[in-house]
């Protein structure tokens, strides 16, 4: 029996996705260039462009290649339509709230920041979150960067294998130059435990940042047309670290990302996926039992209180004071390293990671990283330890990458929407 052939609708959907993905990578392309980049015949690429223009996802930029007088046919440049939408990436952290609007090409078209006090109160954090997101969305709307002009180059004559697809009519003046659009979705990185079912930030004992609960999805709902995804900042940092390793040709599919900053956290990545746990609270390592000063058993967060390394009147660790202490006092450095190694021993026993990645403002510091590496080497089950590669806004980087991927997938899905049952 001959294998079933794909339907015409499926073939069209695949062709349209290739064209859209090509225009997400490049600001504008002619139909001939799209055919080459997408691996399609010129007639197939032309038909796809016609469908996507009709669907409002692709637009004629109005720019043309040089043609005529023996130099080939004039070619039209096409780009993603200006109103295909934006994604919002947000970071909620002790250092403040950052909101960015990202377009389908991956460019950050606007950014807004708001400071918050520490520890933060839910009402204050919600107001700052709404203000930052509103500013980013408002700033993105009037930004209308023009489609860059391509050099006037001749386009090779086409020999169509099917009836020639007529060029789409030029868009109204300025229509093809818009890069802004409605915010279709949002991805939020939160520096606190996040309930998996509701997306709410929840307060746990000794959480150093937010005193109370916060509902980021509810705050952002008036600004976002589609879904709002919220996850813990350490999970986003781990995803960003994995992506950075992949960009360097390294498969990082089984590791634990241990965050050491004002707060303590861990993301367990197994088979390439962050394991969030039943309620989303996996990786909250602050209360793991470990070895404290004098060799007594203590929770990990308690060790820093015993050493006087917390911020005054708070459970948050003071990174500057800690780094000064571990640099100047070998005994303190040994206690900190042994305490962190004890937490890592528990992580290894339960999750069996291939390596430990140390992130956070003091976790990736060479003095701390070297001391922890030495302490872990003495464990019954030693595991490689290294500092994180990404050091600039790793959590926001992870959230932004996911926001972009979901925005692009949403645009592709709009080309061939699934009919209702």
- DSSP structure string for 201-258: B---TT-SSBSS-B-HHHHHGGG-SS-EEEEEHHHHHHHHHHHHHHHTT----SEEEE
Beta bridge partners of 259: 265, 359
Between CA 204 and CA 351 the distance in angstroms is: 23
Between CA 21 and CA 35 the distance in angstroms is: 12
Between CA 323 and CA 331 the distance in angstroms is: 13
Segment 146-163 mean pLDDT: 35
Token pair in block for residue 103: 């377009």
Token pair in block for residue 414: 């709009």
Who wins on pLDDT, 175 or 332? Answer: 332
Between CA 126 and CA 90 the distance in angstroms is: 13
Neighbours of 342 (CB within 10 A): 21
Q: In the chain, what are the helix, strand and coil shares in percent, each to the nearest 5?
A: 40, 20, 40
Between CA 76 and CA 8 the distance in angstroms is: 27
Instruction: Sort 96 into a burial class: Cβ within 10 Å, 0-12 / 13-18 / 19+.
Output: middle
Token pair in block for residue 39: 């691996």
Between CA 213 and CA 100 the distance in angstroms is: 23
Q: Is the pLDDT of residue 410 over 90?
A: yes
Helix (H) or strand (E) holding 30: strand 29-30
Token pair in block for residue 400: 């932004």
Report the mean per-residue pLDDT for the chain: 87
pLDDT at 163: 29
Token pair in block for residue 29: 């392309």
* Site of tokens 């390596």: 355
Q: Are the beta carbons of 302 and 291 closer than 8 angstroms?
A: no
Segment 210-219 mean pLDDT: 87
Q: Are the beta carbons of 87 and 184 closer than 8 angstroms?
A: yes
165 CB-near residues (< 8 Å, 6+ apart): 31, 43, 46, 47, 49, 50
Beta bridge partners of 269: 255, 274
Between CA 415 and CA 17 the distance in angstroms is: 8
Between CA 265 and CA 282 the distance in angstroms is: 9
* Site of tokens 């960067």: 145
Q: Is the pLDDT of residue 144 over 80?
A: no
Backbone phi, psi, residue 263, to 5°: -115, 175
256-279 CB burial, b ≥16 within 10 A, e <16: bbbbbbbbbbbbbbeeeebebeee
- pLDDT, tens digit, for every residue of 230-283? 999 999 999 999 999 999 999 999 999 999 999 999 999 999 999 999 999 999
pLDDT at 2: 63
Please, which pLDDT band fits residue 208 given cuts at 50, 70 and 90?
Answer: confident
pLDDT at 166: 28
Please, which pLDDT band fits residue 119 given cuts at 50, 70 and 90?
Answer: confident
């Amino acid at each position: 029996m001959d294998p079933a052939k794909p339907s015409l609708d499926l073939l069209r959907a695949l062709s349209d996705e290739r064209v859209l993905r090509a225009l997400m990578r490049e600001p504008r392309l002619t139909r001939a260039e799209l055919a080459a980049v997408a691996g399609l015949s010129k007639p197939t690429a032309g038909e796809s462009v016609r469908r996507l223009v009709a669907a409002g996802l692709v637009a004629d930029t109005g720019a043309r290649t040089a043609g005529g007088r023996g130099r080939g046919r004039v070619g039209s440049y096409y780009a993603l339509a200006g109103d295909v939408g934006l994604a919002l990436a947000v970071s909620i952290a002790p250092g403040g709230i950052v909101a960015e609007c990202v377009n389908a090409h991956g460019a950050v078209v606007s950014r807004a920041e708001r400071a918050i006090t520490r520890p933060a109160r839910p009402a204050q954090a919600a107001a700052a979150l709404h203000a930052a997101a509103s500013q980013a969305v408002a700033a993105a709307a009037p930004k209308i960067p023009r489609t860059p002009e391509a050099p006037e180059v001749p386009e090779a004559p086409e020999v169509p294998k099917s009836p020639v697809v007529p060029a789409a009519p030029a868009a109204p003046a300025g229509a093809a130059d818009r890069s802004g659009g409605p915010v279709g979705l949002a991805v939020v990185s939160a520096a606190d435990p996040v309930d998996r079912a509701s997306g709410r930030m929840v307060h746990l004992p000794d959480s150093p940042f937010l005193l109370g609960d916060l509902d980021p999805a509810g705050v952002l709902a008036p600004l976002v047309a589609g879904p709002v995804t919220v996850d813990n900042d350490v999970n986003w940092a781990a995803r960003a670290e994995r992506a950075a390793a992949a960009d360097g040709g390294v498969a990082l599919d089984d590791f634990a990302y241990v965050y050491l900053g004002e707060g303590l956290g861990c993301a367990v990545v197994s088979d390439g996926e962050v394991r969030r746990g039943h309620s989303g609270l996996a990786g909250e390592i602050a209360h793991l039992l470990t070895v404290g000063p004098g060799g007594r058993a203590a929770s990990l967060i308690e060790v820093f209180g015993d050493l006087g390394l917390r911020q005054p009147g708070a459970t948050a660790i003071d990174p500057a004071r800690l780094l000064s202490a571990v640099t100047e006092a070998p005994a303190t450095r040994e206690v900190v390293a042994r305490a962190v190694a004890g937490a890592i021993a528990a992580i290894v026993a339960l999750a069996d990671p291939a390596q430990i990645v140390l992130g956070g403002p003091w976790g990736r510091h060479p003095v701390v990283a070297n001391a922890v590496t030495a302490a872990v080497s003495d464990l019954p089950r030693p595991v490689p330890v290294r500092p994180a590669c990404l050091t600039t806004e790793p959590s926001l980087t992870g959230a932004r990458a996911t926001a972009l991927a979901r925005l692009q997938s949403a645009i592709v899905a709009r080309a061939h929407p699934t009919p209702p049952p």
